[in-house]
Every structure is written in C-alpha cells, then in structure tokens.
Amino acid sequence: MKLTNKDILGIKELSVDEINLILDTAASFIEVSTREIKKVPTLRGKTVVNLFFEASTRTRTSFEIAGKRLSADTINISATTSSVVKGETLIDTARNLEAMNPDAIVIRHSAAGAPHMLARMVKQSIINAGDGAHEHPTQALLDMMTIKEKKGTVSGLKVAIVGDIAHSRVARSNIYGLTKMGSQVIVAGPAMMIPRDIARMGVTVYNNLAEAIKDVDIVMMLRIQLERQQQNIFPSLREYSSYFCLNRHNIKLAKEDVLVMHPGPINRGIEISPDIADGPYSIILDQVTNGVAVRMALLYLLIGGQR
Amino acid sequence: MKLTNKDILGIKELSVDEINLILDTAASFIEVSTREIKKVPTLRGKTVVNLFFEASTRTRTSFEIAGKRLSADTINISATTSSVVKGETLIDTARNLEAMNPDAIVIRHSAAGAPHMLARMVKQSIINAGDGAHEHPTQALLDMMTIKEKKGTVSGLKVAIVGDIAHSRVARSNIYGLTKMGSQVIVAGPAMMIPRDIARMGVTVYNNLAEAIKDVDIVMMLRIQLERQQQNIFPSLREYSSYFCLNRHNIKLAKEDVLVMHPGPINRGIEISPDIADGPYSIILDQVTNGVAVRMALLYLLIGGQR
Amino acid sequence: MKLTNKDILGIKELSVDEINLILDTAASFIEVSTREIKKVPTLRGKTVVNLFFEASTRTRTSFEIAGKRLSADTINISATTSSVVKGETLIDTARNLEAMNPDAIVIRHSAAGAPHMLARMVKQSIINAGDGAHEHPTQALLDMMTIKEKKGTVSGLKVAIVGDIAHSRVARSNIYGLTKMGSQVIVAGPAMMIPRDIARMGVTVYNNLAEAIKDVDIVMMLRIQLERQQQNIFPSLREYSSYFCLNRHNIKLAKEDVLVMHPGPINRGIEISPDIADGPYSIILDQVTNGVAVRMALLYLLIGGQR
C-alpha cells in the first residue's frame, strides 16, 4: 500500500488506511533508534529541507534526527536568518528551494494553509510541521502511535483534550485523527478557549475538567502559550491553573489505567502538575521517542522510492 | 586543465579558459541533482565551512547542498552566533578555522576584499560568496552557465544589466565575466545608481530602460535593496518602478527570444512585474538550479584532488 | 583501559590515568585531520547533539568537526532558537533529547553545574563544553595535550595563568589538570580578579605579572571578557593592559623556551600584544588544532563502543 498524495498536509486529508500504514511503518522504525548503529541507508542521496518560520527545538530536531537516521542529507533554514527578511514571498522561497532539487520540504509556518500553498506550487513532498492554529499532523500521528503502542488500539477509546482548544493545531489534528480511528473525543477548557462550532468536528465539549476527564482512557493536556497570556486572552495563569491543571487529585476521576499525554514543552504547575508529568500515568517521553519514528516513516513513505 | 589559484575570489582574477573549465565542469554536475540518489563520493572526508557574515538563505543553502551532494562535510557559521560578537578579528577567526583543517572556506562578508585577505592568510581554498559591493563570482558563473545553456554561447551576445549598478556585486562580477567572454554589456539605472567611471569597465551606459534593452539577448534585472531605501538613496519605489520595472510592454523592445534573469530575491512589481518573472522569457529558476551545479564544480575543481 | 564515568563533566573528576588515556588517544587522532580523506567510520550511526546555551563559534565548530570526522551525525541546538524561549526547563529539554536517543550531548551553559545535573538525569554521555565560571574540561585537556606535544610532558613544569582567574572556567580546569599531572601552577591578575581561597587549589598567587611569569615554562593568558567591562568590574582596559598585557619586554622574564597559550578569542593589545600572539613562543593555533583531536578522543572513548 502507498500514500495517495505526495504531501502530508493534515490529518484531515488522510484515510484510516493511510493512518494505519503510517503507524505500522513507524512501529517498524522504532527499533532503528535503539541499535548500536542507529542508521539505515534508505534515503541516501536524498535531501530533506527543514524550513522553519517559527522557532522549534523539538520538532526540528526530531525531523533532523529522523532524516539522518535514514541517511538523508538535511538542510536547516530558519526564518530569521533567511532571505525572508529581505522581503521575499513564501512562494518565491519555495520555488527557489524547488529549483535546488530537494526531495522533501518540512515546513512550519505561522499562517494556516502555508504548507498547502507550497504543496500545490512545488513538485517535492511537503510535510506540514505545524501551520498556525490549523494542523500539526506529525504530532497527531505520534500521539496515535503512542496510544496504539500502550493500549493496543486507537479505536473505541475515550480521549479528553484539555486546554486552549481554539488556538491549538495539536488539538485539531488529534480530533481529526482520533475520531477517524473510532475513538470518542472530549474537549475541555475555559469558554473563551473553546471554538463555538467545535462540536461539528464530532467532539463533546465541557467547560469543566472534572466532567471532561471522567472515565477517560487518555488525557491529553495542551500547552498554555504563555506568550499569548500577555495579550490578556485569559484572566490569569493562577486562575487557569486552579481550574484546569491536571494533578494527582483530579486524575483519579479518569480510568485507573489512564494515560497522560502532552505535546510539550510543558509548563509545570500550570497545565500539569510535576508529579503527574513525571508520574506513572505519563507517556510524554514515549511521545517524543515515537516522534522520531513517525517522521522516519513519513520520509520513507513519501520519498523512499515506495511511491 | 586546472585552475591557477587555490581560491575563487572574483571573476576579475579568472581567465577565459578557467571560466570555460568551470562552466563545462558545472554542466557535467547538473545530472547528479536529477538522479534518484543525488550524491557522488567525490569529496568524502573533505570539510567545507560556510562562513556567513551576512544573512543569506539561497547562497548558503546552495553551497551546503553542493557540498553534501559531493559527500563533503559542511559546517555553517553565521556571524550573529559566532565569536565575532566577542570582538574577534576576521583574521583570528580565519586562522582559527584554518587550524581545524577544513578544505575550503566559503565566505560572505559586507566588506569588499575580506575574502582576498583571508585567501592570503590561510592555506585553504577560499570561495567568495559575496563581498560588499565588490564581487559575487559564483553568481556570475551561474549566470553565464545559464546563458550558455540557453543560448549555446556566452560570446557575441548583447546583455543589459538594469538597476542599482553602483551597489551591486552581481553587476560587477557579470560585467567582468560577460565582457571577458566576448559579450557586449549595457548597464542602465537612475543616474545616482550608475558609478561615474563604469564605462571604463567596457560597458555602455543608459539612464533609460527602453534604450538599454533595445534588441538585447538578455535582460538581467538587479534586486532593489529595500533596506537601502530608508537611507533616502533614491526618491521613491513608485518612481523607480515607473521608470525601471521590466514588464510585458517594455520587454517587447528586446529581441524576440530575449531571456530575463534576476539573482533573487525578487521584489515583484518593483524591478520586475510578476508576469515577466514567471513568464516564458524568465530563466530565473534555471539560475538557481545551475547555482548548485556551479558550486559543486568549484568545490570539485578546488579541493577534489584535481589540483 | 576505559574511562570510569559515562560523562566528562570536569577535570576535577578525572584521574591522572584517565587524563593520560585521553591525551594519548587524542594524539592518535591528530593524524586523521591531516589525511587526504579526513574521516574514519568509528562513530557511524551515532548521534551527537551540541546543545549550546551560550554562543560559541570555536567550541561548537570544533565539536561538530570532531563528530563528523568520526562519521557521527551531529545536531546543533542553540538556545536562542530553542524551545527554551518557550520557558521549558533545562531538565525537560534534556529529557526530551534523551527520548530521541542521541549517544552524546555536548552542553555549554551559563550556570555552573548544569552539565552535572544533566548527567544525573539522562542515560547518555554528557560532555561539559563550559559551565558558567566552573569548568571547561575540553579546553584544559587540549591545553595539556598541546603542552605535552611541545614539552614532552605535563609534569614538572612551571605554568603561569594570568588574567581574570575568578571568572575563568578555563583557569579552574587547568589548575585541576596541571596540578594533578605534577606541574606547578602560578596565577596572577588584579586583586579583584583573584578568588580569596584560590591558594587552596594548590597554586601560588601573585598580583604582579613580572613575578608570576619569572622562569616559567608556560604562560597561559586568559581572555579579558570585554562584556564584563561594562559592569565596572575593573577600572579600565588601559590600566589592565598596562599591568598585565604580555609583550616582548616582559616575556623575557620567563624561560628562554617559554610557550605562550591563550584559549581565544584573543583581544590583541589588551591581554596579549600582537607580536607575542603571532610570534615564535605562541602555540595558540596548535591549541585549536589539538582541540579537534581531544574532542574526537572524548567522543570515541565515551560512545565508540569501548565502554
């Protein structure tokens, strides 16, 4: 089986079969990162460009490691040092990169839809590493991979996503993915952080942490973007935290074998208490490990000669 | 045949035979970037340092890709993160790099002559990736390569270079190269953008776009440096654009098979209209593709064991 | 013989045997950097992360070249572009990197003890590339290697370290190393730059350059941190320089075959006169060359399958 499109733009565009293909391929790559020699020659002579218009250690590093473990050449371009400061349009940047014949372009951009525009424009494979508040498909894929690894399935589960749903591309991609895979998704957060029409995406909405996580299999906590706090979008961190911080008391409302996830970076004590982040329910670091494997899988499926 | 010097500092220093050698070698490397496995082992175990004191996506990326496709190890150093901020002189930076035994150092610097000073100082090959308003030899070489690819020759052509000639290292390097190769060069731009003694370089000067591009084979548009605009060097972008923007009307004055070039990044609607930049005359993206090949050729000729 | 610990945190933690092992291993790697093909496959498939929370060209570049010459994959992360700006703790950054399964993490951090905390936290090998004013073990190792290369031994020598001893991690690491190896260490600098209890480290203290360098085998000049000057820590550069700049007059007080060292970057004319920095006594660039070899040795000994 192959992926239908040349690009990974969002979970919305992927079928259940494609998601399963990616998760299975990723699972087979987990082992490479534990070898004495953590490298396979699969993508030798391929060029992967990481084009990041927003700062990101973990996602960029994860893609760079994924590329290198497959023996691809990786090129990092960050917006601040790029000719974008000279006023070049994204389209021209993309066309110029295209002309240098890379095989894949990984893009993170603050504008929703930027990767989609690129994908239409250039012949190379585009991987969306986060576009505005729209989608972050590789995060949702690594989340689903981690759930499947721990629970054996991504189907029939009850998953609560808690935090600033309105501005979270992680939430959107996971909602698309988890509902597609047959799980039930609950979202929760302060009223101003819940988009009005979110129920149309097939989720249940609560403005209350206790109700949201009651009897769930998975709690996925979102990062509160402290940068946004200065814009007075929500009253105070203290208030947010008193209502929505996951801690050892409220976690008891969830199923006994609940798993706690977080896309990182964590704000300890704000959206999640340290004992929960580091405790037995947490699979946060498994998510990071699986992130490398998912990105290897995508690079392999898109440019590894399988298409 | 071999290159005479260990360095590529400017087109001024290159003979016609050397330029032809570089263009022919580059043409032979074009094919590598279209292979399934875009990599040859030529420079395995060689180290290429990209030492950029000015921001640049395309040139740095082009050199990095060129190095990697030849299997060299590439090291990027950008001025803002370098010990230059600790007040180290360029000479000490260079000598320190030299002591780490790289094979080639690619340098971009805002001071004219910086690469020449380095070349005298260190034993490694220095490649000038742009020094102030002085020279940008790899740009001129990729321009000549693209002209030769499309027209079959770089000799006997009529080439107009239009824009801020006075502050353009691209213009200077191309004037050296194109006149050396036997083409006729016309320069045009507002009076204050034309150096007084430019005619000594063997070019014809016009202050008028229409006259400049009449019956030419090639129009090479230069980028208006918007950064400089704030220094009130020219009246207004609107005024510049009304006189010197290449568009579908004035392009008709050139030969029917005219080719339009631009070193990028493009300011659409200022020095070139979008329909011309993206239209049938434009070979702007071929320039980018050939840039990788020219840089592979230079690295190969300088440090590939041929010297 | 093997190293006892998985990490290189400071010279304080190393035994004489371990230091000798590192210096001997480094000496055997010197030759690799002079080969036509400067690369050995030793660390193929290993991942080395350079995690720099302070800017540094030479140390980062030296580690990157060292890794690449051993065929490791190298990943650079600098603090300004990292998720540290999103408020992530160092511990979370480290645990996230750990989850991506690198083999070694090279860390530079402004806080003394940061590498030690990391080392306790993660299973990978940590190499301290400078932590606050605490230690800079790879610098001391390359210094000792250079001394041994030139003098045949690191034992029985008289070494003067001159400058801002109080704030110098280079001084501290060298004091640990040189006294351990059986050399006599003298420190000198303005009174406010000498820690009160420094004599406890087994060194002799002078506030006077002439006395300090009298009959020494080695003079190691420290860099005056011009950044700190603005904090009014010492009266004036002119005053500092008039008392403590090493020049062709005062150098005559040292032994005839004295060697002059400096960790770089040099402030010419402040702590060292240009004729001394570039003169026959200077082994400053040998230090840089040996820096690559020492870092290759450490990577090899820590993650090269020897442990």
Residues A173 and A125 grouped into a single domain: no
A24-38, A282-296, B232-246, C99-113, range with the lowest pLDDT: B232-246
Is residue B54 very low, low, confident or very high in pLDDT (cuts 50, 70, 90)? Answer: confident
Q: What is the DSSP letter of A272?
A: B
**CATH number of the domain residue B66 falls in:** 3.40.50.1370
Is residue A307 very low, low, confident or very high in pLDDT (cuts 50, 70, 90)? Answer: very low
**Ranges of residues in chain C whose predicted pLDDT is under 70:** 80-88, 227-235, 305-307
pLDDT score, position B89: 80
Residues B163 and B87 grouped into a single domain: no
Asked, for residue C6, whether it belongs to a domain, the answer is no
Residues A144 and A91 grouped into a single domain: no
| Pair C199, C179: CB distance under 8 Å | no
CA angle, corner C271, sides to C270 and C273, nearest 5? 75
Averaged pLDDT for residues B235-241: 85
Query: In 3D, which of A201, A269, A211 has the Cα closest to residue A240?
Result: A269
Residues C107 and C177 grouped into a single domain: no
pLDDT score, position A18: 98
Rounded distance between C-alpha atoms, residue A189 and residue A166, angstroms: 9
Asked if C57 has any chain B CB less than 8 Å from its own CB, the reply is yes
Residues of A in contact with B36 (CB under 8 A): 45, 305
pLDDT tens digits, A51-62? 999 888 899 999
Asked if B41 has any chain C CB less than 8 Å from its own CB, the reply is no
Asked, for residue A269, whether it belongs to a domain, the answer is yes
Averaged pLDDT for residues B90-119: 94
Is residue A79 very low, low, confident or very high in pLDDT (cuts 50, 70, 90)? Answer: confident
pLDDT score, position B269: 92
pLDDT score, position C283: 98
C196 is catalytic: no
Render C259-271 in DSSP notation, one character per residue: EEE--S---BTTT
Residues A96 and A65 grouped into a single domain: yes
Is residue B210 very low, low, confident or very high in pLDDT (cuts 50, 70, 90)? Answer: very high
Query: At which residue do the structure tokens 């699986």 appear?
Result: A290
Mean pLDDT in chain B?
93
Domains: count for chain A: 2
| Pair C264, C223: CB distance under 8 Å | yes
Asked, for residue B69, whether it belongs to a domain, the answer is yes
Q: Per residue, what are the HEC states of chain B?
A: CCCCCCCECCHHHCCHHHHHHHHHHHHHHHHHHHCCCCCCCCCCCCEEEEEECCCCCHHHHHHHHHHHHCCCEEEEEEHHHCHHHHCCCHHHHHHHHHHCCCCEEEEEECCCCHHHHHHHHCCCEEEEEEECCCECHHHHHHHHHHHHHHHCCCCCCEEEEECCHHHCHHHHHHHHHHHHCCCEEEEECCHHHCCCCHHHHCCEEECCHHHHHCCCCEEEECCCCHHHHCCCCCCCHHHHHHHHCECCCHHHHCCCCCEEECCCCCCECCCECHHHHCCCCECHHHHHHHHHHHHHHHHHHHHCCCC
| Pair B219, B282: CB distance under 8 Å | no
Helix (H) or strand (E) holding A188: strand A184-188
Asked, for residue C262, whether it belongs to a domain, the answer is yes
Asked, for residue A230, whether it belongs to a domain, the answer is yes
Residues C297 and C239 grouped into a single domain: no
Residues B274 and B298 grouped into a single domain: no
> Do C39 and B73 lie within an 8 Å CB cutoff?
yes
Asked, for residue A3, whether it belongs to a domain, the answer is no
Percent above pLDDT 90 for chain A: 83
Asked if C266 has any chain B CB less than 8 Å from its own CB, the reply is yes
pLDDT score, position C85: 45
Asked, for residue B2, whether it belongs to a domain, the answer is no
Instruction: Give the total residue count for chain C.
Output: 307
> Do A36 and C305 lie within an 8 Å CB cutoff?
yes
Residues C145 and C262 grouped into a single domain: yes
pLDDT score, position C238: 87
Single pTM value for the model: 0.95
> Cβ atoms within 10 A of the Cβ of A141, count?
27
Asked if C73 has any chain B CB less than 8 Å from its own CB, the reply is no
Residues B190 and B261 grouped into a single domain: yes
pLDDT tens digits, A133-175? 999 999 999 999 999 999 999 999 999 999 999 999 999 999 9
Is residue A235 very low, low, confident or very high in pLDDT (cuts 50, 70, 90)? Answer: low
Residues linked to residue A126 through DSSP beta bridges, in sequence order = A105
Q: Which of B39, B65, B268 is facing A100, going by the closest CB pair?
A: B65
pLDDT score, position B236: 83
pLDDT score of A231 more than 90: no
* Rg of chain C (C-alpha set): 19
Query: In 3D, which of C120, C94, C96, C95 has the Cα closest to residue C107?
Result: C94
- Which subunits have 3 or more CB–CB pairs within 8 Å of chain A? B, C
Asked if B55 has any chain A CB less than 8 Å from its own CB, the reply is yes
Residue B213 phi/psi, 5-degree rounding, is: -95, 5
Could you tell me the residue range of the domain that residue A174 belongs to? 137-283
pLDDT tens digits, B109-147? 999 999 999 999 999 999 999 999 999 999 999 999 999
Q: What is the ipTM of this complex?
A: 0.93
Which residue of the set B136, B148, B158, B172 is catalytic? Answer: B136
Residues B157 and B53 grouped into a single domain: no
Residues C205 and C294 grouped into a single domain: no
Rounded distance between C-alpha atoms, residue B40 and residue C96, angstroms: 35
> Which tokens go with C15?
């035994």
pLDDT score, position A56: 84
| Helix, coil or strand: residue C179 | helix
- The residue with greater pLDDT, A90 or B5, is B5
Residues A106 and A144 grouped into a single domain: no
> Do B83 and C38 lie within an 8 Å CB cutoff?
no
pLDDT score, position B55: 80
Mean pLDDT in chain A?
93
Averaged pLDDT for residues A61-76: 97
pLDDT score, position B57: 83
pLDDT tens digits, A189-201? 999 899 999 999 9
Q: Which of B37, B57, B265 is facing A45, going by the closest CB pair?
A: B37
Rounded distance between C-alpha atoms, residue A183 and residue B232, angstroms: 62
| Pair A6, A122: CB distance under 8 Å | no
> Which tokens go with C45?
């498939």
Query: In 3D, which of A99, A101, A133, A141 has the Cα closest to residue A114?
Result: A133
Nearest residue on chain A to B294, judged by CA atoms? A100
Q: Which of B84, B88, B100 is facing C289, going by the closest CB pair?
A: B100
| Pair A202, A175: CB distance under 8 Å | yes
| Pair B140, B148: CB distance under 8 Å | no
Is residue B307 very low, low, confident or very high in pLDDT (cuts 50, 70, 90)? Answer: very low
> Do B47 and C34 lie within an 8 Å CB cutoff?
no
| Pair B128, B9: CB distance under 8 Å | yes
Residues linked to residue B49 through DSSP beta bridges, in sequence order = B75, B105
Query: In 3D, which of A174, A218, A186 has the Cα closest to residue A10?
Result: A174
Asked, for residue C17, whether it belongs to a domain, the answer is yes
B108 is catalytic: yes
Cis-peptide, bond into residue C265, ω within 30° of zero: yes
Phi-psi domain of B127 (left: phi exceeds 0; alpha: psi -120 through 50; beta: other): beta
> Which tokens go with A48?
């992967």
